[in-house]
Chain A
Amino acid sequence: MAVCIAVIGKENSPKYVACLHSENELQFHYKVHTALDVVEEKLSLAGKSNCDVRELYLGLLHSTEEHKIFGYVTNTKIKFIVIVEAANTTLRDNEVRTMFRRLHAAYTDVVCNPFYIPGDHIVSKKFENVVKSIMSGNS
């Protein structure tokens, strides 16, 4: 379902980026990177208005003719970015939320690994499998 899934660190550096098709991976990198602008904007607005801080899902960040970019941010300011194809009209908001929730759970498992140093790039087969299954749409 998703074509690109990325985990971005607190200081906006990429910790994990996976694309369904590797041919124009850099384009997805750019898309993820620019989406951070909107994430930051939303976060700063959320800070001001002091609204529901428990809501981690940021919704649609940005859309292009081909893609829709969704965001999610953990309490520790780790950002998850999911890019889906705009043509995929069957995808509902709820399904995107489910993807993020699964991703968050997988990320939590990665961080719980005592051998993982927070802030490092994520290298984990388990995490990779979760990401792959999200991208293929097998939930």
Chain B
Amino acid sequence: MGRVVEAGRRAPEQAPPNEFSVMDAKPIVTYAGDKTLFSSLEALLVQRIPQEATEWKRSYGRPVKSVFTEAEFSPFDRSQLPKEGDWHLIGLPIFHTYWTECVDVDIYKTSVREDIDLWLKTLQKFGIDDWLIVQVETYDIKRSNKLLPRTTVLDKIRSDFASKHPDRCISVINPIRSESKSAETWRGLLSRIRVLLLQAYDTTLVRFEETIRKQRERRIEPGWSFCKYFLLQEELAFVLEMLGLFEEALVQYDELDALFTQFVLNYSVGETPNWLGSFQGPLESWPGLQLTHKVNQEQRLLIQDSQASLLQFRSYLFARQSAMLLLTLQPWEIAKRTLPFLHNCIAELRILEVTCPPGSVACWVFLGCLEVLRTCEQFNDSTQVQKYSRFTASLWAYASDKLKELGELCGLLPGMQPTSEQLHLVVGLSAGMGDVPLSDEPTPTDQLKEALSSNEAFKKHYLEFAELAMGTFKHINRVRLARVIGRDLAAFHQRLGDYQTASLFLDAALRMLEVEGWRSLAVETRQELVVCYRHTDDKEKYVKTCASLACSHELDVERRMYYLNQMVEVLSSITTGLPLVTQFSEAFELLSVEVKTDKQKLVVGGIVEIVVELQSLLPRSMPLKQAALSLEKISKMEPPSETADKKHSNSSSSLPQTEEPLFLKRSCLINKSPNNPLLSRISMSQCLDYQQDQSLKAAWATCRDSRYFLRRADSQGNHRNITTSLQTDFSLCASTDNNMLEPGKNTLVLQAKVTEPGKFQFGQMSIKLCEGHLEFLSNVLHCGVGFEVTSEPPTVSLQALTSDLLAGIDQEVTLIVNTGSHWIKKDSKLILRPTEGLQAQLTDDDECLLSKLEVALPETGPFQTTQYPLRVLARLGSQKDNSVLEHKVDIDCPWSVEAQPAVLQFHPPFCTSLRLHTSHRRKFAQVLVTGLTKSFLQVTKPELRLEGDCSSVRLLPLNPTAGQPLMIRQGFNIVLLWELEVAKQEEEETGDSPIQAVFTMFYLPVTDSHSQERLYQCSFDINDYRTLIIESAKVEPSKGSEFCRASTMCHLHLTVERVSESVRSSLMYEVLVDQTMWAVCGRTTGVVTLDESHKQTIQLDVMPLISGYLPVPHVRLSRYIPADQKPLGKAASLHPRREPFSPGQVFNNSKALQVHVLPSAPPGESGGP
């Protein structure tokens, strides 16, 4: 041990005597022989040996290290040579040199050889093989020129002493005499010294390690002491440290650490070596860690004497480890090791059942943390702040924790007054920490002593440490840990009475806990928070937090009731006019919303009923002041643009397009958790892709909103949304007042009066309690539930009862009044104004038909339809065909300015037509009554009269006057006939003037017994009622033939007879034949003039083409007007014209006459007579 004390003495002056630095120690090399020579070279050697690194090759295949060796020279002293078992390696000479200047072999033989021999023998006696003999020569130019050198002194020395180790003898040229020549030999010497020096260490250490191993193996022997062993192995670490191999030195310490830990652990299972007893003594002092490069000699002595306490030993070991870490420039590693180290020490104290005075360990831990932190700060590098902080943060936290523990112990917390016992304790703790040498900065020990000195100082220090810890945690993003310290700080501030600050810390913690869904912790925090609010008199927050707590099922009912009562109590003292708004979800869960009112009844001005189911989390029933659900009007949206579909138009993909109409659900269950896409139905749809030629290119199934289904499923689930909801517009809302809210499920019926049409969806839910002072406001629901309020105008229409309305007969139509979404007030009237010819009356009314009808409407609710049966009658005029009569009815409504038109179509029940028939000169007027109805009509008293002055014409009825009744219907017609007797004309000129005939009859629907007979009247004009010409045609066979034969020429005899004088002009005839039957030979047309003669006959040649009964060729007669006949010429008059006769003016006698034509004669007969 004395050796080390010596080493300590060699430490720099300024260091305290109880410390020494291993770094300052150097390998000791002895010198012997020519001392004057050596002293001239010593300075040079000391300076130049450390300049180059040497590779240290070690035995056992250990990795080669590059080592810078230093050396310290001391004269060879036999007494300083290491003895067996003395392993204080850093103080012992390790390498031995002999120096001689002798160049003369004779002188060598006489004196030097003996001296070397003695020196080597001494070394061998101590078993030392690490030596070097250096012969220093002066450069001799003469000698170097000699061709054959004689045997030199070096050769002699070699042969005498170093025949086995030729490298242990070296000759150098004295650099002081001739520097230039010596450099090479000198460099050789230096490297030789370095190599041999390290070799010496290697052999020594190999031996030493062997010793250590042996020692370790004896650890279970009774007399073995860990302290001795520790010091032994530490020597190895010292050497390694001295050689700059800090990592290896650290390995030695770590090994020792592990060994000791294992001993302690073994103690817990019952193994108790004697030496361990020295660590189990009661703790008497707890000085803090001191981290320096240097070895604390005082502590080392204590260990040697087995007097060190566990903490002292541990502190020493940790300090040495830290020193190595600092030397390897890894200060953060210290911080990293600190916490496990401290925890381990505490565990060891517990295992070894060391009696510790209260607070002592806390003091020690606190000092340890601070010392490490201080050291880290000293070696802080801005690039490694992050790296440090990860470890320092928890050290800050640990330190502040321990300080708090001490504060509690010593009565230093705010609001505490230290008792005399506690003061004693402080004194005792301070004494246990010991004193530290004064320095410029306050040491951890000073800080702790100061902190324990008074409440005020304690507060200052505690807040400083805690805030540092919190800040560092925040800096490295360990927010949760920062919040936990925040809670501690909050508790401290509460003690200080600073509830404002405390609430800030707690609020931050609460927010994070809520976001992450840690309900039980959140409730805990809230309970603390509520205390703060009470003290800060923040009534609003107090009430809100109370409300939330009252609804927390994590708490027992009594506490919840307490908070609820608090809430009500404090609420009543708040005097602001506005209600206090808080989160709906704190106290209620909305379960479902449903629109109860029928769709039809959702009209403007109507009342909507909405049923809301909600779960009240309040612990008891509460009177509900008002519950309201806001309604948002949905503005009409633009239809989505088509651009998205354009992309697909080329491939004509038939993706089903679903336009999403703004569809409002009428009810919905409100889920607290968001819809889980894993559990919803996937909407798949078919997709077909066609090529341009319409052939199928591909078919596939696709999920249209795959994004929704494939998005990452959040496994969070039950978070509460912390979004603060702003109050939306409640001007439109459904509400109910003054109910009771029971705990658990409640069903509320809300009502709203809607004043405008449109789509409404539900927005926010609001519940007002406590006389409306407290309002729970939910988030916006966004569930697409709502209703549509319609505004439908009333409609009025006329509808025929049967499919076809008949004119001229009483018909029934219905006036349909649909009120739409409106109310019809009392004393409203509808005025029907039909067009001319149509009359109407209410069926119930026996009054006569009116052309302007007023209908009184009763008071009616919305969406009601009222029907009023009406009788209508359309006037039936002269009906000559079945054209439909259309009538328009303008309806004046009380609710609109414009009249509403209604159109009615009436079909005629029958139509009448008149035809004139001719038979030679006689004329017959035939009236046809065509039935058009489906049911029978009876016709009576048909009559045809002539109108006006027409003496020349008379009508003679040819109809039976009695017999079966005349009935008409569709398909049942009546034909009536009158002969028109025309008097022989006296005045030829007037004969042509048309006469007017009026047909009248009465008709009566057979099925309808009530209706009376109605008169039908129809007038006709009768023209050309005189026969002018009678023509007849006849086909005769040509002369000599008996019969007409096909392909044989025949004669057509045409006779034209004039029966009226009025025909004066020429007549043109045209033979119109069917060309498949007849061929006209010669002219087919011609002109005849009937000047004087009344009758004229024309013969034409015609040939039948086929046989059979052929119709006689038709001859058409028309008036012929020559070209120059009319002087008032127009363009047309230049050509001759023909003018047809009206039917009835020409009577064709041979109409429908046929002639029998035989087949053509056989050839033989043709030439016959």
Given known contacts A13-B518, A26-B524, A118 and B343 CB-to-CB distance under 8 angstroms: no
Per-residue CB proximity of A42-80 to B under 8 Å, as 1/0? 000000000000000000001111000000000011100
Q: Is the CB of A9 within 8 A of B717?
A: yes
Per-residue CB proximity of B392-403 to A under 8 Å, as 1/0? 001000000000
Complex Cα distance, B390 from A65, in Å, reads: 19
B635 at the interface (CB under 8 A from A): no
Complex Cα distance, B717 from A78, in Å, reads: 13
Q: Is the CB of A29 within 8 A of B518?
A: yes
Complex Cα distance, B479 from A37, in Å, reads: 7
Residue numbers in B under 8 Å from A36 (CB-CB) = 480
- CB of B75 to closest CB in A, whole Å: 55
Q: Is the CB of B478 within 8 A of A117?
A: no
A34 at the interface (CB under 8 A from B): yes
Of A13, A26, A34, A41, the contact of B716 (CB 8 Å cutoff): A13
B713 at the interface (CB under 8 A from A): yes
Complex Cα distance, B678 from A64, in Å, reads: 41
Of B478, B520, B715, the contact of A9 (CB 8 Å cutoff): B715
B569 at the interface (CB under 8 A from A): no
Q: Is the CB of A10 within 8 A of B480?
A: no
Give A10's nearest chain B residue, CB to CB: B715
Q: Is the CB of A38 within 8 A of B265?
A: no
Complex Cα distance, B887 from A33, in Å, reads: 87
B72 at the interface (CB under 8 A from A): no
Residue numbers in B under 8 Å from A41 (CB-CB) = 390, 476-478
Residue numbers in A under 8 Å from B394 (CB-CB) = 62
Give A60's nearest chain B residue, CB to CB: B340
- CB of A131 to closest CB in B, whole Å: 18
Of B350, B484, B524, B716, the contact of A119 (CB 8 Å cutoff): B716
A112 at the interface (CB under 8 A from B): no
B517 at the interface (CB under 8 A from A): yes
A120 at the interface (CB under 8 A from B): yes
Residue numbers in B under 8 Å from A10 (CB-CB) = 714-716
Of B521, B678, B714, B716, the contact of A33 (CB 8 Å cutoff): B521
Give B342's nearest chain A residue, CB to CB: A65
Given known contacts A64-B343, A120-B717, A11 and B676 CB-to-CB distance under 8 angstroms: no
Complex Cα distance, B477 from A33, in Å, reads: 14
Of B339, B476, B477, B516, the contact of A13 (CB 8 Å cutoff): B516
Given known contacts A117-B676, A119-B714, A86 and B516 CB-to-CB distance under 8 angstroms: no
Tell me the B764-818 residues at the A interface (CB within 8 Å).
Answer: none
Tell me the B464-512 residues at the A interface (CB within 8 Å).
Answer: 473, 476-481, 484
Give B517's nearest chain A residue, CB to CB: A13
Give A68's nearest chain B residue, CB to CB: B343
Residue numbers in B under 8 Å from A117 (CB-CB) = 676, 678-679, 717
Q: Is the CB of B343 within 8 A of A11?
A: no
B144 at the interface (CB under 8 A from A): no
Residue numbers in B under 8 Å from A129 (CB-CB) = none
Q: Is the CB of A118 within 8 A of B713?
A: yes
Q: Is the CB of A13 within 8 A of B718?
A: yes
B347 at the interface (CB under 8 A from A): yes
Per-residue CB proximity of B987-1009 to A under 8 Å, as 1/0? 00000000000000000000000
A12 at the interface (CB under 8 A from B): yes
Residue numbers in B under 8 Å from A38 (CB-CB) = 478
Complex Cα distance, B520 from A126, in Å, reads: 24
Of B476, B524, B715, the contact of A78 (CB 8 Å cutoff): B715
Complex Cα distance, B345 from A86, in Å, reads: 12
- CB of B537 to closest CB in A, whole Å: 28
- CB of A118 to closest CB in B, whole Å: 5
Q: Is the CB of A11 within 8 A of B719?
A: yes
Q: Is the CB of B340 within 8 A of A65?
A: no
Complex Cα distance, B720 from A11, in Å, reads: 13
Residue numbers in A under 8 Å from B478 (CB-CB) = 34, 37-38, 41
Q: Is the CB of B715 within 8 A of A11?
A: yes
Q: Is the CB of A29 within 8 A of B719?
A: no
Of A9, A33, A63, the contact of B480 (CB 8 Å cutoff): A33
What's the tally of chain B residues with a CB closer than 8 Å to chain A? 36
Tell me the B255-309 residues at the A interface (CB within 8 Å).
Answer: 265, 268
Residue numbers in B under 8 Å from A37 (CB-CB) = 473, 477-481
The interface centre, meaning the residue of A63, A64, A65 with most chain B CB atoms within 10 A of its CB, is A65
- CB of A3 to closest CB in B, whole Å: 16
Residue numbers in A under 8 Å from B347 (CB-CB) = 65, 86-87, 89
Per-residue CB proximity of A83-105 to B under 8 Å, as 1/0? 00011010000000000000000
Residue numbers in A under 8 Å from B716 (CB-CB) = 9-11, 13, 119
- CB of B197 to closest CB in A, whole Å: 43
Complex Cα distance, B713 from A76, in Å, reads: 10
Give B482's nearest chain A residue, CB to CB: A37
Residue numbers in A under 8 Å from B265 (CB-CB) = 89
B346 at the interface (CB under 8 A from A): yes
Complex Cα distance, B477 from A77, in Å, reads: 19
Q: Is the CB of B517 within 8 A of A119?
A: no
Per-residue CB proximity of A1-17 to B under 8 Å, as 1/0? 00000000111111000
- CB of B511 to closest CB in A, whole Å: 14
The interface centre, meaning the residue of B339, B346, B478 with most chain A CB atoms within 10 A of its CB, is B478
Q: Is the CB of A63 within 8 A of B343?
A: yes
Complex Cα distance, B988 from A25, in Å, reads: 136
Complex Cα distance, B339 from A13, in Å, reads: 28
Q: Is the CB of B678 within 8 A of A118?
A: yes
Give B713's nearest chain A residue, CB to CB: A118
Complex Cα distance, B481 from A30, in Å, reads: 9
Of B484, B517, B524, B673, the contact of A34 (CB 8 Å cutoff): B484
Complex Cα distance, B714 from A89, in Å, reads: 39
- CB of B953 to closest CB in A, whole Å: 105
Residue numbers in A under 8 Å from B350 (CB-CB) = 87
Residue numbers in A under 8 Å from B340 (CB-CB) = 63
Q: Is the CB of B480 within 8 A of A14?
A: no
Complex Cα distance, B265 from A82, in Å, reads: 23
Q: Is the CB of A86 within 8 A of B343?
A: yes
Residue numbers in B under 8 Å from A118 (CB-CB) = 676, 678, 713, 715
Q: Is the CB of B678 within 8 A of A12?
A: no
Tell me the B206-231 residues at the A interface (CB within 8 Å).
Answer: none
Per-residue CB proximity of B683-724 to A under 8 Å, as 1/0? 000000000000000000000000000000111111100000
Complex Cα distance, B342 from A65, in Å, reads: 8
Q: Is the CB of A119 within 8 A of B676?
A: yes
The interface centre, meaning the residue of B343, B679, B717 with most chain A CB atoms within 10 A of its CB, is B717
Tell me the B645-697 residues at the A interface (CB within 8 Å).
Answer: 673, 676, 678-679
Residue numbers in A under 8 Å from B717 (CB-CB) = 9, 13, 117, 119-120
Residue numbers in B under 8 Å from A78 (CB-CB) = 715
Complex Cα distance, B350 from A10, in Å, reads: 39
Q: Is the CB of A14 within 8 A of B718?
A: no
Complex Cα distance, B268 from A10, in Å, reads: 41
Given known contacts A9-B716, A26-B520, A119-B716, A65 and B678 CB-to-CB distance under 8 angstroms: no
Complex Cα distance, B679 from A6, in Å, reads: 26
Sample (10) of A-B pairs whose CB atoms are under 8 Å apart:
A9-B715, A10-B714, A11-B516, A14-B517, A25-B520, A33-B480, A37-B479, A40-B477, A41-B478, A63-B343
Besides A14-B517, A26-B520, A34-B484, 14 new A-B residue pairs in contact (Cβ under 8 A), listed by A number: A12-B517, A13-B716, A26-B524, A33-B484, A33-B513, A34-B480, A37-B477, A41-B478, A63-B343, A64-B343, A86-B343, A89-B347, A117-B676, A119-B715
Which 6 pairs between the two chains have the least Cβ-Cβ distance? A13-B517, A119-B717, A11-B716, A37-B478, A119-B715, A10-B715
